[in-house]
Structure 1
Amino acid sequence: MAATTIGTAIEWYDFFLYAAVAGLVFNKVMFGDLDPGLATIVSFLSVGLSFLFRPLGAVLAGHFSDVLGRRVVLMVTLLAMGGATTLIGLVPTYETIGIAAPLLLILFRIIQGISAGGEWGSAVLLAVEHAPVEKRGLFGAGPQAGAPAGLLLSSGMLALMSMIAPGDAFIEWGWRIPFLLSIGLMILGFWIRSGVDESPVFTEMAQIAEQKRANPLGELLRNYFPVVFVGALVFAGNGVVGYMIAGGYVQSWAVNDLGMDRGAVLWAVTGAAVTWLISGVLAGGISDRIGRRNTYLVGFLIQAVAAAALFPLVQNGLLWPAMLLLGVGLGVTYGQQAALYAELFPASVRGSGASITYALGSILGGAFAPTIAAAVVQATGSTVGVTAYLLVATFIGLLAAASLRDRTGIPLGPEHEAEQAERHFTLSR
């Protein structure tokens, strides 16, 4: 649990770091002489572009996770993510190398997207498949906590650099330091993960001769696509709201549109990451007691309140209450995600199922949420439309969660495939 949590936190530190800097720096130095509003939209498009490559990472990682094991995939994705992040810190500005600057950013962002698409599924399955039956939600909340932990690390590091290199110094060189530090985090994560045993469920599957000839992706798409789609909508309901801060939009809007201090905003987002992390771990543990489905229903109601209050609170100077409340809403709709996905799919396709469902949910929910928000505000001059967008996404996530039958505690081993393959929806017999 510790190894998957720490490794996932390092991966999300890399991923979220780019999103935050996109709205604070890249829109100023990497995309030429575009109008500031347009430059911000284009910069967030480069953030969203990586999500389109998550399915590729999910397909590759899901397949090899089901065939070669969860642990091997996690080692490869960590190296890819850390290497791309370090190289982003070395990319010259548009003024220095012209169009090559945004092209290099996009290339490295694509590598990050492929890595993120492959990381999550293997990490959560390694944690959940090692867990005692009655603690799957809690163990699965470990790698889930990696996302807010990564946001905490990235926002905290940028806030620190805004103090060390204030004003123009942050734009000129300060933003690069957190990217370059990624190489040390990558080495640490690789060392930690190299000592983790393979999932016991995969070890059982590897002893089955037929597993070597399996086509997990083909079986998943033939027999479980409705489950994949509905499961993706659950995560999308969380992702649209989460990527207001994880995707860097609120930071950019508060600093560039409202004129707030950059450091103050980054520290408030760091606070949101703390409440997201704590509430996510609690939600995972609570889901072991009241079920994944019930925890989601409560969580989406809390998230709806947080989404409705987000922009009005920030506009009235209540930045910290807005961020802390949002973190709670995100945590209670995220902490149990790992256990939910592990219990949705049979053992033989679980790696592909979890990875592809998560990647599809990321595209539907997080990919272009910051871009859409920036475009809505530029077109209307108001955040009302963005709030409506967040509430619709939350309601869709609520309906998707309500349609799934609660499968908390279902056996995960390959000898229970028949039980795992049936009764996914509340209306099914």
Structure 2
Amino acid sequence: MTSSNAVSNPATQRRVAFATIIGTTIEWYDFFIYALGAGLVFTQLFFKPAGEDIGLLLSFATVGISFLFRPLGAFLAGHYGDKIGRRAMLVRTLILMGAATTLIGVLPTFAQIGIAAPILLLLLRILQGVSAGGEWGGAVLMVVEHAPADRRGRAGALPQVGVPLGFLLASGLMALMTGVVSPGQAFLEWGWRVPFLLSIVLIVVGYFVRRSVEESPVFTEIAERGQQTKAPVVVLFKRHWHLVILAALVFVGNNAVGYMTTGGFLQSYATGRLKIDTTAMLIASTVASAVWFVATLIAGRLADSIGRRNTHLIGFAVQALMAFPLFWLVNTATLPGLYAGLVLLSIGLGLTYGPLAAWYAEIFPASVRFSGVAIPYAIGSILGGAFAPTIAQALLQATGTTTAVSWYILIATLVGAAATLCLRDRRGIPLGPDHEAEQASGATIFAPNVAHRELAAKP
């Protein structure tokens, strides 16, 4: 039987890390390619009868509505991930996301089948939301539960970098399609479909990579003992509801700001209002994604050295400082201003995203950890990112300026920072099932820090 303090050997850790990055990148590529499509083409192809302004709001609303179904994916994946394993759920969510994305690539437009087109588009986006809701928790636990205690921050940053990598891949491919392969009208006619159709190739690769890795050692031990919780979601909300709320609010501070770019609002604003070339905007988004990627990796290392909580607070400070300068720079309608705004914002996003995986995993007990990680992430994505592009667009249309959007970014950031201050850093806490009592206590500043007292007492 495995020891609750055991970790995988380095070769296994490397395989798990590689599989996690590949799978998460593919999953979020699919999710973000839709958001870019919403900002660039779906208004004309699926919502044109509503008019440009209303059509753009409706297009962004389909991005947000899918978030409402992410908790369903999190509940399902959390329930079965705590019962049948992390790896099995990762494979299922990957297939679901890929199938929905590929079908969007062959979907007829409003001009071809009328009102059925936006309805089908929304249904496929909902399937993407269900998949995304279950994906993240499994990916996080696979790497964090395989990692040694002093490297969990770095390990946990690996599924996180799949998000900027997915956006980098999506924005880079869209830039290639608009600028080289299918410029102008050709992009509207057929070019936009290619990035969606490519998903089927990526899913095949991701499937075989994920099937090749071993199950998490923590879940393996739970399964060997027959200690799976019968109703993990019920137990989670009965005993740890306060942690669910605080963890979700931490993510609000990152997600609302992140979806200014990944949700398509800034791309639509820059190409529509400011008349910046679409390909140039997409290239700038790609560069910003690369910065976000690097900042996320750095944040993982910082999380292991100065703590998850401190790294988050530094990141939220950067986001708050950039809330107004972001649009001051972008509104210059120049490429240097656009690059500077996106790059500086991406640094804050990376610092508030990199430590999240390890911190979430250390907050919740082993028996309900999949549910505990997945559900706050899904709730935080609804409260933060779901309708961030729609809200930003509505504020822009109502006020005529981006000042209100900056206030929105600042308020979301302060919410995340406040929740961060309410949680304790849990570096070094054992993750195995032998330590449920330690894991279930002292995660907030409002409760006795029993776990760390016991850790400090150990030789």
| Letter of the 2:186 counterpart | A
> How many angstroms apart in 1 are the aligned matches of 2:36 and 2:388?
14
> How many angstroms apart in 2 are the aligned matches of 1:123 and 1:426?
28
> How many angstroms apart in 2 are the aligned matches of 1:210 and 1:126?
19
| Letter of the 1:303 counterpart | Q
Q: Is the 8 A contact 1:32 1:95 kept in 2?
A: no
2:377 is the counterpart of 1:358: yes
* Aligned twin of 1:182: 199
2:331 is the counterpart of 1:315: yes
Which of 161, 175, 186 is the aligned partner of 2:177? 161
> How many angstroms apart in 1 are the aligned matches of 2:227 and 2:101?
39
> How many angstroms apart in 2 are the aligned matches of 1:334 and 1:210?
32
* Aligned twin of 1:199: 216
* Aligned twin of 1:394: 413
Which of 249, 261, 273 is the aligned partner of 1:245? 261
How does 1:357-376 map onto structure 2 within 5 Å?
357-376=376-395
Which of 15, 19, 22 is the aligned partner of 1:6? 22
Q: Is the 8 A contact 2:324 2:403 kept in 1?
A: no
* Aligned twin of 1:404: 423
Q: Is the 8 A contact 1:279 1:331 kept in 2?
A: yes
> How many angstroms apart in 1 are the aligned matches of 2:24 and 2:120?
25
How does 1:126-165 map onto structure 2 within 5 Å?
126-163=142-179, 164-165=181-182
* Aligned twin of 2:67: 51
> How many angstroms apart in 2 are the aligned matches of 1:308 and 1:283?
23
SS at match of 2:145: helix
Per-residue CA deviations over 1:266-300 (Å, capped at 9, x if unaligned) read 00010110010100011011100111001111110
2:89 is the counterpart of 1:73: yes
* Aligned twin of 1:97: 113
| Letter of the 1:77 counterpart | T
> How many angstroms apart in 2 are the aligned matches of 1:210 and 1:295?
35
> How many angstroms apart in 2 are the aligned matches of 1:17 and 1:34?
23
* Aligned twin of 2:6: none
SS at match of 1:333: helix
Per-residue CA deviations over 1:7-60 (Å, capped at 9, x if unaligned) read 000000000000011011001110132221111000000000100000000000
Q: Is the 8 A contact 1:14 1:81 kept in 2?
A: yes
> How large is the RMSD of aligned CA atoms in angstroms?
0.8
> How many angstroms apart in 2 are the aligned matches of 1:87 and 1:292?
39
* Aligned twin of 1:87: 103
Cα deviation for residue 308 of structure 1 reads: 2.2
> How many angstroms apart in 2 are the aligned matches of 1:286 and 1:273?
20
* Aligned twin of 1:382: 401
Which of 292, 309, 315 is the aligned partner of 1:276? 292
Moved more, 339-348 or 26-35: 26-35
Cα deviation for residue 103 of structure 1 reads: 0.7
SS at match of 1:258: coil
2:273 is the counterpart of 1:257: yes
* Aligned twin of 2:10: none
Report the TM-score, using the length of structure 1 for normalisation: 0.99
Cα deviation for residue 203 of structure 1 reads: 0.4
Which of 242, 248, 251 is the aligned partner of 1:226? 242
> How many angstroms apart in 2 are the aligned matches of 1:79 and 1:390?
34
Per-residue CA deviations over 1:341-367 (Å, capped at 9, x if unaligned) read 000100000000001010000001000
SS at match of 2:323: helix
SS at match of 1:130: coil
* Aligned twin of 1:348: 367
> How many angstroms apart in 2 are the aligned matches of 1:272 and 1:206?
42
> How many angstroms apart in 1 are the aligned matches of 2:49 and 2:274?
22
* Aligned twin of 2:437: 418
SS at match of 1:224: helix
Cα deviation for residue 168 of structure 1 reads: 1.2
Cα deviation for residue 109 of structure 1 reads: 0.2
> How many angstroms apart in 2 are the aligned matches of 1:112 and 1:340?
26
> How many angstroms apart in 2 are the aligned matches of 1:158 and 1:209?
48
| Letter of the 2:424 counterpart | R
Moved more, 46-55 or 33-42: 33-42
Q: Is the 8 A contact 2:30 2:199 kept in 1?
A: yes
- Gaps spanning 5+ residues in structure 2: where? 1-16, 449-459
* Aligned twin of 1:15: 31
Q: Is the 8 A contact 1:231 1:400 kept in 2?
A: yes
> How many angstroms apart in 2 are the aligned matches of 1:410 and 1:218?
24
> How many angstroms apart in 2 are the aligned matches of 1:264 and 1:214?
52
2:322 is the counterpart of 1:303: no
Report the TM-score, using the length of structure 2 for normalisation: 0.92
Q: Is the 8 A contact 1:233 1:361 kept in 2?
A: yes
> How many angstroms apart in 2 are the aligned matches of 1:80 and 1:306?
36
Q: Tell me how many residue pairs correspond in the alignment.
A: 428
| Letter of the 1:113 counterpart | G
| Letter of the 1:426 counterpart | I
Q: Is the 8 A contact 1:86 1:179 kept in 2?
A: yes
Which of 84, 108, 124 is the aligned partner of 1:108? 124
| Letter of the 1:179 counterpart | F
> How many angstroms apart in 1 are the aligned matches of 2:300 and 2:242?
25
* Aligned twin of 2:455: none
Q: Is the 8 A contact 2:252 2:384 kept in 1?
A: yes
* Aligned twin of 1:171: 188
